[in-house]
Amino acid sequence: MKQHRMRLIEQNQPAPGIMRMIFKAPDLARNSRPGQFVQIRVTDTFDPLLRRPFSIHRTHSNGTIEILYRIVGRGTRLMSRTRPGVRLDGMGPLGNPFQTEGNFSTALVVAGGMGSAPAFMLIDTLLKTGKSIHFFWGVRCDDEFFHLEWLRSSGVELHLACERGDTGHQGLITDILEPMMNRYPDSKGFVCGPKPMLEKMQRMIRTFPIPWEVSLEEKMACGVGVCMGCAVRVGQKIQMVCSDGPVFDLREVDFGS
């Protein structure tokens, strides 16, 4: 938990509307675990005022970290125009990571939309543990897929779905996951994605007794558990997504709908 002057060394666009930033930030790279996030100050001025939270997408042994983000508003638009050499102020690593250790032989990683951002660091970490990995990746349009060749060559079993395009299944990722789930009794599931997908996942796993971890998102102000702004009900208790999560037991989350 620290403040870092992260130097942007590269920014590119792996898919339309989606940007990847690569920062030199050795401390952060060394200490981050999958599922954790960084609160980035997008400007030196006070408008936009608040930091923006982003999952750590990947870290590398050369002291760099990557974040992957979709341009959705003022903050991300400003970020997309940031040039290499500029230093951005990032607080992190924040939150609690996915638990990748344990007695399971197969990991089911499920990502929808920008859920791919934390999913890659999770996969990087799982690969080192020698577990077999099934990656269920759903996007709106198939031009949002990237790194598919690398994933395949790393031995990750890919299951793709898109609502538009012709890569993989035409539809939702949950469509292909549901009939397959019972094939992997000795497994652990990890899921990150938009709320409707998470709610559907929660219903689907009722009859599938493996542990499932979920990474949640909420609007954040402080990112460190002081403002009480990012509340969610988990297992009857009010928890803060930023400091008690963002990773929770999927079965215990109250999506409140």
Ligand X SMILES: Cc1cc2nc3c(=O)[nH]c(=O)nc-3n(C[C@H](O)[C@H](O)[C@H](O)COP(=O)(O)OP(=O)(O)OC[C@H]3O[C@@H](n4cnc5c(N)ncnc54)[C@H](O)[C@@H]3O)c2cc1C
Pick the piece of the chain touching ligand FMN (CB under 6 A) from 29-37, 120-128, 161-169, 221-229. Answer: 221-229
CA neighbor of 92 nearest in space, from 227, 226, 222:
222
Instruction: Give me the amino acid identity at 116.
Output: S
The answer to whether residue 83 forms part of the interface with ligand X (CB under 6 A) is no
Question: Strands, E, within 56-122: which ranges?
Answer: 58-59, 64-70, 87-94, 106-112
Is the alpha carbon torsion for 131, 198, 216, 141 positive or negative?
Answer: positive
Cα–Cα distance, 254 to 185 (Å, whole number): 25
SS3 assignment, position 150 = helix
User: Going residue by residue from 107 to 146, which x/- string records binding to ligand FMN, judged by CB under 6 A?
Assistant: ----------------------------------------
Of 115, 193, 223, 246, the one binding ligand FES (CB under 6 A) is 223
The answer to whether residue 72 forms part of the interface with other proteins (CB under 8 A) is no
The answer to whether residue 124 forms part of the interface with ligand X (CB under 6 A) is no
For 226, phi then psi, to 5°, come to -105, -30
Residue with the shortest CB distance to ligand X: 73
Helix (H) or strand (E) holding 37: strand 37-41
**Residue 225 contacts which entry, ligand X, ligand FMN, ligand FES, none (Cβ below 5-8 A, type-dependent):** ligand FES
The nearest distance, CB 1 to other proteins, in angstroms, is 4
Of 20, 34, 37, 121, the one binding ligand X (CB under 6 A) is 37
Instruction: Give me the amino acid identity at 172.
Output: L
- Say if CB 32 and CB 92 are below 8 A apart: yes
Contacting residues toward other proteins, per CB under 8 A = 1-3, 41, 46-51, 89, 91, 218-232, 238, 256
Contacting residues toward ligand FMN, per CB under 6 A = 221, 227, 229
